[in-house]
Amino acid sequence: MTTRLEPAVQPVRAARPAPAGHANAVLVAALLLSMLTIGIAAWAAWLTIEVAEAGPWRIVLGAATIGVVVLAVLTLVPVARGFRERGRCLRAFAADDVVVGRAARYRATHAGWLAMGYCLPVLVIAVFTLFLLANDHAVQSTFFDTAFMAQSLGDILVAFWQNVQIAVLAEAFVLVWGLVIALARLLPGDAGRPIRWLATVYVDTFRAIPSIIVIYLVGFGLPLAQVPFFSDLSPLWAAVLALTLTYGAYVAEVYRSGIDGVHWSQVAASRSLGLSYGKTMRFVVVPQAVRRVTPPLLNDFIGLQKDTALVTVIGTVDAFTQAKIYSSNYFNLSSVTVVAILFIIITIPQTRFVDRLLERDARKQRAKG
C-alpha cells in the first residue's frame, strides 16, 4: 500500500501584516502599570506627610516620597514616546513604507518595555514606604526612630570597634592560614598524601560547623578546659581564633581553586627553568592565583566581618550586644538598625576598592606598553 504524500500546505501570507502588532498590547500594559505606580506613589506620599510626626522624619520621608511620585510620573515619558512612534508606524504602513513602519513599531514596543522596567523599582519603593507607614507608622518608629538611633549611636560606635578589631585580626590570620591549608591540600607525591588528608579533614570539618558554634566552643570551652595559654585568651582573641579556624577552611578552598586555575604550562615553564616546586609556587603560581581569587576572597571576608556579630554569644560587648542592650531597655529596635547600617557602610567601600585594584592590575598587564 502506498501512502500518498499530501502537498505541503504553505501558510498563506497575510495580504497586509497587522501594522502595530503587539506594540499595542505592550503600550497599553505600560500605560496601566505607569498609572498604578503613580497612584501608589501618590498614596504613599500623602500618608507620609499626613501621618508622620513633625520632625526630621517628616521632612526626609516627605521629600523622598514626593521624589518617588516624580519618578513615577516620569515613567509616562517613554509611554508617551511609544504612542507617538505607534502613530508614526501606522502612518508608514498606510503609505506602504514597510521599512520605516517596522522601525517605528520596534521603537514603540521598546519604549513600552522601558517604561515598565522603570515602573517596577518605583513601585517597590512606594510599597516599601507604605509598609513603613503601616499600623500607624509603627514599623517606621520600631526600626527607624531617629532620636533613639542618635542616642544609641555613640555607645554602639565604641562597641563596633570590637567588631572591627576582630575582623581585621582574623582576616590577617586567615590570609596566611588559608594559604597554608591550600598548599597542604595540593602537596605532591606520596610523602604529601597524609598531609593532604589532614588538610582535607580540617577543611571538611570546619566548613561543616556553624561559626556560631565554633565561637561558642572556643570562647567558653578553652577557658573551661584550662588549656595552658588558650584558657587565658581574652574573648576578643577567642573570637579571632574561632573565626580564623572557620574562615581559614573557606579561604583555603578559594585559594585552592585559584591555584588549580593556573594553567599547568606555567608550572612546566617554571620547572623547566630549574625552579623547585616551592619556588614555582611562590613566584609563579600563587601570585597568579591570588589575582584570580581576590573577588571570592573578598566575599568570604565580608562573611567574616558579618560573623563578628556572633561574638555576642560569648559575652563580648560588640556593636550587636550593645544594640541589644539598648533595644531591650527601650523596647525599640532602631539601635539594631544602626548596627546594620554600620555593617553596610564598612562593606560597600571594600567592594569598590577591590574592583578598583583588579581593574588597575588588569590595566597594567594589558595596556599597550
Min. distance of Cβ 201 from other proteins in angstroms?
Answer: 31
Q: Residue 195 and residue 252: Cα distance in Å, rounded? A: 14
Residue closer to other proteins, measured from CB, 108 or 285: 285
CB proximity list for 130: less than 8 A, separation 6 or greater: 40, 43, 44, 47
Q: Which is nearer to other proteins, 5 or 367 (CB)?
A: 367
- State the nearest-atom distance from the C-beta of 355 to other proteins, in Å: 19
In the complex with other proteins, the residue whose CB is nearer, 7 or 278, is 278
Q: How far is the CB of 255 from other proteins (least distance, A)?
A: 16
By beta-carbon proximity to other proteins, the closer residue of 16 and 366 is: 366
Which lies closer to other proteins via its Cβ, residue 13 or residue 364?
364
* Smallest separation (angstroms) from other proteins to the CB of 358: 13
**Alpha helices, DSSP H, located in 273-333:** 277-279, 286-307, 319-330
Cβ-Cβ contacts under 8 Å for 24 (sequence gap 6 or more): 86
For 51-74, letters b (16+ CB in 10 Å) and e give ebeeeebeeebeeebeebbebbee
Q: State the minimum distance, in angstroms, from the CB of residue 365 to other proteins.
A: 5
Instruction: Tell me how far, at minimum, the Cβ of 5 lies from other proteins, in Å.
Output: 48
Nearest approach in angstroms of CB 197 to other proteins is: 25
Shortest distance (Å) from residue 280 CB to other proteins: 10
Contact 314, 220 (CB under 8 A): yes
313: burial class by Cβ within 10 Å (0-12, 13-18, 19+)? middle
**Which three three-digit cell numbers place residue 15?**
495580504
Nearer to other proteins, 349 or 369 (CB): 369
Q: Which is nearer to other proteins, 151 or 294 (CB)?
A: 294
Residues making contact with other proteins (CB under 8 A) = 265-266, 268-276, 279, 283-284, 287-288, 291, 364-369
Cα dist from 19 to 14, 91, 131, 156, 229, whole Å: 11, 9, 44, 64, 83
Q: Supply the DSSP string of 69-136, one letter for each residue.
A: HHHHHHTHHHHHHHHHHHHHHHHHHHTT-HHHHHHHHHHHHHHHHHHHHHHHHHHHHHHHHHHHHHHH
Do residues 243 and 176 touch, judged by C-beta distance below 8 A?
no
Nearest residue (CB) to other proteins, 273 versus 348: 273
